[in-house]
Amino acid sequence: MLFSRLHDRTDLGVAPPRIRAGSKERLGRSIRLAVLLAPLMATACTTRSELGFATLMNEVPATQAIIVPPPGGPAIVAVLQRKYQNGVSQEIALSTASLTPGQNAFHVTLASGSVPQSEIDDVLSLPSMTEDRLQREMEERLPGIEMQTSLVYVQNKYGPFGFATGRSAGGDVCLYAWQRIEPNEPAVLVPGGVISVRLRLCDVAATPEQLLRTMYGFTVSAYYMSGAWNPYGAPPRVPEHLGQIDAPIYPLGMNGAPQTVIRERRIRVPTSPSAAGPVIDKDTVLPSAPAQPSISVPEEPAASPQTGYPVVPPPPSQ
Q: Which of 73, 68, 84 is nearest to 221 (CA)?
A: 68
Dihedrals phi, psi of 111, to nearest 5 degrees: -110, 140
**Higher pLDDT among residues 249 and 4, named by residue:** 249
Position 156 pLDDT exceeds 50? yes
Residue range 54-81: average pLDDT?
92
CA 102/CA 94 separation, integer angstroms = 11
For 206-227, what is each residue's pLDDT tens digit?
A: 999 999 999 999 999 998 887 7
* Planar angle of CA 70, 75, 81, nearest 5 degrees: 100
More confident site: 26 or 169: 169
Average pLDDT over residues 234-263: 66
277 contacts 288 by C-beta, under 8 angstroms:
yes
In which band, very low, low, confident or very high, does the pLDDT at 234 lie, cut at 50, 70 and 90?
Answer: confident
Across the range 152-156, mean pLDDT stands at: 92
Quick: pLDDT tens for 261-311: 444 444 455 555 554 555 455 455 555 555 555 555 555 555 555 565 556
Average pLDDT over residues 14-32: 63
Count CB neighbours of 52 within 10 A: 5
Residue 128 has pLDDT above 70, yes or no: yes
> Rounded to a whole number, what is the largest CA-CA distance in the chain?
169
pLDDT of res. 287:
54
The per-residue pLDDT for 265 is: 44
**pLDDT given at position 30:** 72
What pLDDT does residue 146 have? Answer: 94
Burial state string for 185-222 with b = 16 or more CB within 10 A and e = fewer than 16: eeeeeebbbbbbbbbbbbbeebebeebbbbbeebebee
DSSP for 280-307 reads: ETTTEEPPPPPPPPP---PPPPPPPPPT
Which span out of 85-94, 249-258, 296-305 was modeled with the highest average pLDDT?
85-94
Q: CA-to-CA distance for 22 and 198, rounded, in angstroms?
A: 81
Model confidence over 168-203: pLDDT tens digits?
Answer: 998 999 999 999 998 876 544 446 788 999 999 999
pLDDT of residue 295: 52
Tell me the C-alpha distance between 126 and 23, whole Å: 76
User: Is the pLDDT at 117 greater than 70, yes or no?
Assistant: no
More confident position, 25 or 153: 153
Q: Do strands 219-220 and 194-203 pair parallel, antiparallel, or not at all (unpaired)?
A: unpaired
3-state secondary structure of 148: strand
**DSSP-based three-state secondary structure for 155:** strand
Asked whether the predicted pLDDT for residue 140 surpasses 60, the reply is yes
Residue 179 one-letter amino acid: Q
Asked if residue 293 has a cis previous peptide bond (ω within 30° of 0), the answer is: no
Q: Which residues contact 99 (CB under 8 A, 6 or more apart)?
A: 168, 170, 171, 172, 204
pTM value > 0.85: no
- Going by the DSSP 8-state scheme, the letter that residue 257 receives in this structure is S
Quick one: pLDDT at residue 158?
Answer: 92
Q: How far is CA 144 from CA 102, 149, 204, in A?
A: 12, 16, 16
Instruction: Classify 134 as helix, strand or coil.
Output: helix
Tell me the average pLDDT across 252-261. 47
CA angle at residue 152 from 218 to 165, to 5 degrees?
A: 70
What is the reported pLDDT for 202?
95
Q: What CA–CA distance (Å, rounded) separates 82 from 62?
A: 15
Q: Which of 142, 141, 175, 181 is nearest to 161 (CA)?
A: 181
- Three-state secondary structure string covering 188-227: CCCCCCEEEEEEEEEECCCCHHHHHHHHHHCEECCCCCCC
